Amino acid sequence: MPERAIRVLVIDDEEAMRDACGQILRRGGYEVDTAADGAEGIRKIADLRPDAVIVDLKMPGTSGFEVLDSLPAVDPHIAAVVITGYATIDTAVEAMKRGACDFLPKPFTPQELRIILARGLERRRLVLEAEALRREKKALEEHFITMVSHQLRSPLVAVRQYFEVILAGLAGHPDARMLQMIQRAGDRLDGLLRLINDWLDLARLQQKSPLDRFKAFDAGAMLDRLVQTLAPVVRDAGLSLEWEPPAGPGPIVQGDEESLEQAFANLVHNAVQYNRPQGRVRVALFDDPDAVRIEVEDSGIGIAAKHIPFLFDQFYRIADGEGTKPKGSGLGLAIVKAIVDAHGGRIDVRSEPGAGTVFSVRLPKPRPGETPG
């Protein structure tokens, strides 16, 4: 199918200028339409949806500035070239602010018009290509998320369930060596499933912000529930869990309660993972004047200063000693950072090797009139 000719609309109240521009551009292979004033030009822009508009600023009635103002509603990427016999720096700047891609003072040569128009159309082409690539990238990401979730994760879950059946003795009685091998394979499979689940969480956060689920809620009640849920996990790791709620009522936070609970659960799991034997995990809530502050502290191995700038990068992991392998998927803190950023908050880290680590999250308070949902 032949490619559509590039359509250009020339808007000028001088008939001679319209005819001259039309002849120059038609020789260049463009499809040209004209309008004798701004009002007619606005109607034709809506009807014809041209690739480019050449518009005079000084016209009786509807001005060229008003024509420029009308373009985004039809196509924000129309290449708009302004022509005028009253060129000044101020009018050029104003035209650019209103979306013009270039400015051509009268009189001009045919070659100048062709060069300016070609430059504007090339800019339009690059912008449209970039948008198409963004749409394609988003479609590929959505397809990949679906593929990972259904075609990769689901079979792994099924394999893990078969392992559980064997380990429970429901499929015969394998010897001790075989049971040990199955247990190790199951542990590696669990690690792979955690990595897949973490990646899916992060990908979904990047695809869709939790902004549409925002409401005002009690941060103290959310953290109290989280502490009670995770207390057995911390205790089974041989650690103590300290919860320090504020003295008065829990402060109100504006956000998505589910995703924030996930963020703080990740921080607590991180504190457990990098702690010392018989160490402690502390969760504290503060009602600061300008924000709600939550701290998750551990008494663990600490973090060297060189690592701190990279902690929230995807797949960045730190070994807990010489010759040891890094723990975790390297996505837990990236997920925390994505959630905090989506809430307009901030997360900071204080740590020294051998002296434990404190993650401090600051979240905005609700605007006046917002109450817990």
Interval 157-210: pLDDT, tens:
888 888 888 887 777 777 888 888 888 888 888 777 777 777 777 666 666 655
Specify if 2 maps to a domain.
no
- Tell me the mean pLDDT in the region 113-119: 93
Residues 181, 67 within the same domain = no
- Tell me the mean pLDDT in the region 111-129: 93
Residues 24, 70 within the same domain = yes
Percent share of the chain, pLDDT over 90: 43
Residues 323, 218 within the same domain = yes
Specify if 337 maps to a domain.
yes
Specify if 23 maps to a domain.
yes
**Residue type (1 letter), 258:** E
- Tell me the mean pLDDT in the region 56-84: 92
Residues 85, 188 within the same domain = no
Q: How far from chain centre, in Å, is Cα 223?
A: 26
Computed over every residue of the chain, the mean pLDDT equals: 85
Residues 274, 333 within the same domain = yes
Specify if 95 maps to a domain.
yes
User: pLDDT tens across 284-321, in order?
Assistant: 999 988 889 999 999 988 888 888 888 888 777 776 55
Residues 201, 220 within the same domain = no
Which residue, 108, 123, 157, sits at the end of a domain?
108
| Rounded-to-integer distance, Cα 353 and Cα 156, Å | 38
Residues 25, 166 within the same domain = no
- Residue 1 pLDDT > 50: no
| Rounded-to-integer distance, Cα 351 and Cα 348, Å | 10
Residues 56, 75 within the same domain = yes
295 or 149: which leads in pLDDT = 295
Specify if 358 maps to a domain.
yes
- Tell me the mean pLDDT in the region 222-226: 93
Q: Which pLDDT score is estimated for 209?
A: 58
**Residue type (1 letter), 15:** E
Which residue, 208, 234, 266, sits at the end of a domain?
208
Residues 178, 152 within the same domain = yes
Q: How many domains are there within the chain?
A: 3
Specify if 174 maps to a domain.
yes
Percent share of the chain, pLDDT over 70: 88
Residue 158 belongs to domain spanning: 133-208
Residues 306, 220 within the same domain = yes
CATH of the domain at 25: 3.40.50.2300
Residues 354, 228 within the same domain = yes
CATH of the domain at 216: 3.30.565.10
Specify if 369 maps to a domain.
no
Which residue, 151, 179, 208, sits at the end of a domain?
208
Residues 223, 355 within the same domain = yes
- Residue 329 pLDDT > 80: no
Q: What pTM was computed for the model?
A: 0.54
Q: Which pLDDT score is estimated for 322?
A: 44
100 or 314: which leads in pLDDT = 100
Q: Residue for token digits 């013009």?
A: 100
Specify if 119 maps to a domain.
no
Burial class (CB in 10 A: 0-12, 13-18, 19+), 339: buried
Q: Which pLDDT score is estimated for 323?
A: 42
